[in-house]
Structure 1
Amino acid sequence: MTDLPTRRLGALTVSAQGLGCMGMSHAYGTSDDEQSIGTLHRALDLGVTLLDTSDFYGAGHNEELIGRALAAPGRREQAVVATKFGFANRLGEPVRIRGDAAYVRRACEASLRRLGVDHIDLYYVHRVDRSVPVEETVGALAELVAEGKVRHLGLSEAGPETLRRAHAVHPIAALQSEYSLWTRDLEADVLPVCRELGIGLVPFSPLGRGFLTGRYTSAQALEDGDMRRSQPRFADGNLERNLAIVARLEELAARKGVTAGQLALAWVHHQGDDVVPIPGTRRRKYLEENVAAAALELSADDLAAIGAAADEVAGARYDEGSMKFVNG
């Protein structure tokens, strides 16, 4: 075990760093289930309690994978299971978001079955359904809390007004949104509202979808089917400009004897005690590197230099169609 500290997401206590599990089933090329389960078990052994998934990842496969990992003796008690609902389509179909009360309940029951658990510790609205009042969605979630099927509620990629309206219906423990050195738009309006209401922030892609680690120098090096091949920041022209950010991070990291990825992740950790990043990986090597970053101490001068290294990012974080579903 490790002495990985804990942080609070509303009333929920979790490890200071979680594990994003999406890439074990979805979006980042081929993966191996047994390797992934080994990484999940290693994360729990290192004191990483927060395991993040969604019913959308791999069309349910990712929840089933976590269910297999947690079925081993003693593992469920070590984990804080977070999952999401809202994408009513399957992979390859047009994006369709649902947040109506009937769908909320049906999605929860299906996730419980796939995960093989009797309750979900943290249940997120994956994307806000703009056709349904958020009060209806959160009201249905509150019923699931009252029934013991869900312990805490969260939203993902929600805007400040939606956070206020949702929190007025039932306490929201966490907002999960993209946040990293190269995605900082929520600092202006969203993060202040989270702090006003006592909502923790769970940054996904805190390493810029792996780019800030320096492991990716061309989109062509990514597997066919890897979602990053179609993202603006990995496109020709933008990628080359963004590699200059990585070069500056590597220079700063070398002075501390750490990797560029560890430095970028430590920067996220230093943004507040209510911030719990969930870097994703399928491999134990990178998991261990990420966990080590949580202990890296950075001074105010360090933080300023790291922030300045990523002051000019080329390209939007998603394509135009996907951007319609963020900050809902």
Structure 2
Amino acid sequence: MNQTFIQDFSILALTDHPDLKILLFCTILMIYLLALGGNVVIIMISHLDIRLHIPMYFFLRNLSFLDICYTSTTMPKMLQLLLAEKKLISFAACITQMYIFITLVGTECVLLAVMAYDRFLAVCIPLRYSFIMNHTICSILAGISWLSGLVNSVVHTFFTFRLHFCGSNKINYFYCDIPPILSISCDDTSINERLLLSIGVFIGWTPFMCIMVSYIYIILTIIKMKSIEGRKKAFSTCSSHLTVVILFFGSVLFSYVRPTSSYSMAKDRLISVLYSVICPMLNPLIYTLKNQDVIKALQRQFIHRK
């Protein structure tokens, strides 16, 4: 077996078409700035406005911070590759990028389940909500989310980069991720594939099913509400979270938690753009435009103070 040590990986740009490079560069840059700006605003407004010092917005701050990290892990490199002649990423940078990215994917999976549990308690058991979801419990749940992502990433990163690469250094992807790196290894990747499926059940499917069960109870409780105003507010808040869940889990589960025989790099690249580029930009829009509490907080902080 002709094993070689690869110092750099050749990585795919979003396009090689000269006429599209500038257009795509400006589009991705705009999306990046929108994602950064929107998520920074959510973090700031939920911190500054005392009325938003509740568990829901504590978890939302964590989600916004995650999205800032998401975009900053992949999009600057995407922008660089669009303009660079040599589309390379060093071995060390590839490891770092994948480790951070997989950490964020795992963390967000668990964090979205925690947010669903928070909404379940708020809607279905409102009288005990403030007692159960105190500051300590919120911090523990957020910590579990981050720890789950870190452990998940350590395992995958270790087992991915212990593989050998036999001369091929071309990653057919926009950034360093597990499936495209496995596809260029000359070693047996069956252990990695089993890890993706087995760990994916715990950090992907299990949180997703918990979210679905939570929302079944939430919807049944909302339907029974006598107050039309309370029903509208509950639906508005929960529909925002459910929209984020469907977008994120739909793309992540498709990318990671399925048999590797069904992998198609062309399709996977399109899906990867959804959860690594589009979702972080949409999250702040979904949580602000569909959330009256955030809109009122923005008005109090930036309009009424003038």
Question: Same fold judged by TM-score > 0.5?
Answer: no
Normalised-by-shorter TM-score class:
under 0.3
Q: Is the helix fraction higher in 1 or 2?
A: 2
TM (norm. structure 2) is: 0.25
Q: Is the strand fraction higher in 1 or 2?
A: 1
Higher-RCO chain (CA-CA 8 Å, sequence separation at least 6):
2
TM-score by length of 1: 0.24
- Specify the structure having the higher radius of gyration (Cα): 2
